[in-house]
Structure 1
Amino acid sequence: MPHHHINYLEIPVKNVAKTKTFFKQVFGWQFQDYGSQYSCFLDVGISGGFFESDTVFTTENGAPLIVLYSSSLEQTQSRVTEYGGQISKAIFTFPGGRRFQFLDTNGNEYAVWSE
């Protein structure tokens, strides 16, 4: 394992089961459960997991923004809303591509980008 690389990401969520359903439906993620209050996401670019907490993270409250990649931005944006997510910033351009930001079913904010 490379020394001093980001190795793992833990994300607070209000409901682990509901979060797993959302990310599986929208992004096709798979999970490994460790009890009812913790689940690791598998093969998504970085290792990590969801843990139950009342904490909500958004850029407005100073949290880092977790950015996912999509080769079909409009389709991914549609899937986010179809499965209960809420768009917090509609698709916009930035140097290097386009992206949108959304709140998952817990109210946590993420972004999705494409070229």
Structure 2
Amino acid sequence: MTEHEKLNYVEFPSSDLQSTKLFFEKAFGWSFIDYGPEYTAFSGQGLDGGFFKANLYSSTSNGAALLIFFSSNLENTLLKVTDAGGRIVKPIFSFPGGRRFHFTEPSGNEFAVWSGVGA
């Protein structure tokens, strides 16, 4: 159910929609619906969203917000990300409350994955 005044959707640029889709399909099991040649959407991933064709990317180095996945097995998720073609930009590190790593997908968008203490 869509909630009033709550975050509902996120959009990212992608210079190569096909590579971006293949990465998320392989690493996280996502599925996509294409809306023409320059937009693809995903749903059921905690926050629905899409990727639009653009020669831009979302990165914390240029001030973009960072979307963070949760994992109950951080090392296993890191292997899935690299096996799918993701590039680790910050290896696993500890922070108060857990551990995490940052990665980029084939179009350069930066994401992170975290796991709680003891997970």
1:110 maps onto 2:111 in alignment: yes
The CA deviation at 1:65 is 0.5
- The gaps in structure 1 that reach 5 residues or longer are none
Percent sequence identity over aligned pairs: 49
For each residue in 1:10-31, what CA deviation from the matched residue of structure 2 results, as whole angstroms up to 9, or x when unmatched? 1111111111100010011111
TM-score, with structure 1 as normaliser: 0.94
Q: Distance in 2 between matches of 1:37 and 1:71?
A: 34
Contact 2:71–2:113 (CA<8 Å) still a contact in 1?
yes
Alignment of 1:53 with 2:54, yes or no, is: yes
Deviation of 1:35 (Å): 1.2
Q: Which amino acid aligns with 2:112?
A: A
CA distance in 2, matches of 1:2, 1:25: 30
Q: Note the residue ranges of structure 2 that are not aligned, 5 or more in a row.
A: none
Asked whether the equivalents of residues 32 and 42 of structure 1 are also in contact (C-alpha less than 8 Å), the reply is no
Which residue pairs with 1:78 in the alignment? 79
Secondary structure of the corresponding residue to residue 26 of structure 2? helix
Question: Which residue number corresponds to residue 25 of structure 2?
Answer: 24
Count, aligned residues? 115
After superposition, the CA RMSD in angstroms is 1.0
Runs of 4+ displaced beyond 6 Å:
none
